[in-house]
Structure 1
Amino acid sequence: MTGHPHHGGGESTRYFEDFPVGSVYELGSCEITAADIIEFGTKFDPQPYHIDEESGKASPFRGLIASGWHTASLFMRLYVDSLLLDSAAVGSPGVDDLRWLRPVRPGEVLHGRLTVVDSAPAPFRPECGVLRKRGVMRDAEGRPVLKLLLFSMVLRRPAAPPPVESRGDGAG
């Protein structure tokens, strides 16, 4: 098996060196429905404006809105599907600066974008580098609804094997 054992591996695997500072990745889009909002809210964030349309209307939000954790989960799904699964990522030391900037309502289409803002060697894992990336989720009008700063540990590209020397007898 070639590549990282937890990923597709092979020729398309992206390593630490393949994420230069300044790179921007469009992560795709997703639509959020009232049913999605209520299901997530009921399971994970059962505040009235996440689980009931009438309660949402009576809230300061004046309608049903997605949990910020739901919005963050949607961002993560777009990130994983479009970029992370084809990389040699081996984990994350965390997230900073998570902000929910506007309420997300049923029927909205959200779009994710990721920008590499910094990279450095991993202090205790010489086979890895750490990427710092700014993630933003926007609504269809381009207004940001979520922003966060992600950190990823990514394997460095393996060294190329030394060339096979010819023995001069035609045997390789």
Structure 2
Amino acid sequence: MQYFEDLEVGTKSSFGHYEVTREEVLEFASKYDPQPFHLDDEAAAQTFFGRLSASGWHTCAMSMRMIVDQFRHEKTASIGSPGIDELRWLKPVYPGDTLRMETELIEKRRSKSKPNMGFTKSRQTVFNQHDEPVLTMIGNGIFAVRDPEHTPEG
């Protein structure tokens, strides 16, 4: 199990393989973001997207799936997140795209009030199959501490 103490600022990781399907784009949009350019080919063709595109919120959801799959693969002691910062949708995501993710741990700190956890910040970038960034964000994480009784020096 990878605990808070095991995480090192500056560590970079590349992972994920998410294939975006037309069916999923339509299903997500019809439930959560029913704008015409996410639901209708003709309407989408009249926008700057040029064709049917995934909702930015759908891109976030697909990104979250890749993150959770990676946490499971690495067996991390993730215990949640207080949110994200600086979310940007840089390019449209289209049916047929394949997404992947790169992360860099940019900050970590032990909780002062809850000795069993620590907080992290990671710069996260999602790329399409052409290695073009489509989304960036700063993810905030909460990780379990291996030994809550141990007080770190410094």
Global fold match (TM > 0.5):
yes
Q: CA deviation at 1:158?
A: 2.7
The residue number in structure 1 matching 2:101 is 112
Alignment of 1:1-172 (within 5 A): 13-83=1-71, 86-158=75-147
Q: CA deviation at 1:156?
A: 1.1
Q: CA deviation at 1:150?
A: 0.7
Quote the Cα distance in structure 2 between the aligned partners of 1:56 and 1:63: 5
Number of residue equivalences: 148
4+ residue runs of structure 1 moved beyond 6 angstroms? none
Task: From the CA coordinates, give the structure whose radius of gyration is larger.
Answer: 1
Note the residue ranges of structure 2 that are not aligned, 5 or more in a row: 150-154
TM-score, structure 2 normalization: 0.90
1:39 match: secondary structure: helix
Q: CA deviation at 1:123?
A: 3.0
Quote the Cα distance in structure 2 between the aligned partners of 1:101 and 1:37: 18
The verdict on how the C-alpha distance between 1:119 and 1:150 changes in structure 2, with shifts beyond 3 A counting, is same
CA contact (8 A) 2:116 2:148 kept: no
The verdict on how the C-alpha distance between 1:36 and 1:111 changes in structure 2, with shifts beyond 3 A counting, is same
CA contact (8 A) 2:11 2:105 kept: yes
CA contact (8 A) 1:122 1:153 kept: no
CA contact (8 A) 2:71 2:78 kept: no
RMSD after superposition:
1.6
Identical pairs, percent: 36
Quote the Cα distance in structure 1 between the aligned partners of 2:114 and 2:14: 29
Note the residue ranges of structure 1 that are not aligned, 5 or more in a row: 1-12, 161-172
Quote the Cα distance in structure 2 between the aligned partners of 1:129 and 1:77: 22
